[in-house]
Amino acid sequence: MKLNKILNEKLEEWILVASMIVLVILVVGQVFARYVLNFSIGWSEELARYLLIWIAWIAASYAVTKNAHIRVEIIKDRFSARIKQIIELIVLIIWFGFAAFLAFEGTNFVLQVQTTNQVSPSLGADMWIVYLAVPVGGVLMGIRLIQQAIRIFKDPEHLESTPPHDLNQ
Cα 68–chain centre separation: 12
pLDDT tens, position by position, 5-38: 777 778 888 899 999 999 999 999 999 998 988 8
pTM for this prediction: 0.81
d(CA 5, CA 47): 31
| Burial profile 130-149: b = 16 or more Cβ within 10 angstroms, e = fewer | bbbbbbbbbbbbbbbbeebb
pLDDT tens, position by position, 26-81: 999 999 998 988 888 888 889 999 999 999 999 999 998 888 777 777 777 788 88
Q: Note whether 134 and 112 are within 8 A (CB).
A: no
Handedness of CA 159, 161, 167, 169 (dihedral sign): negative
**pLDDT on residue 1:** 57
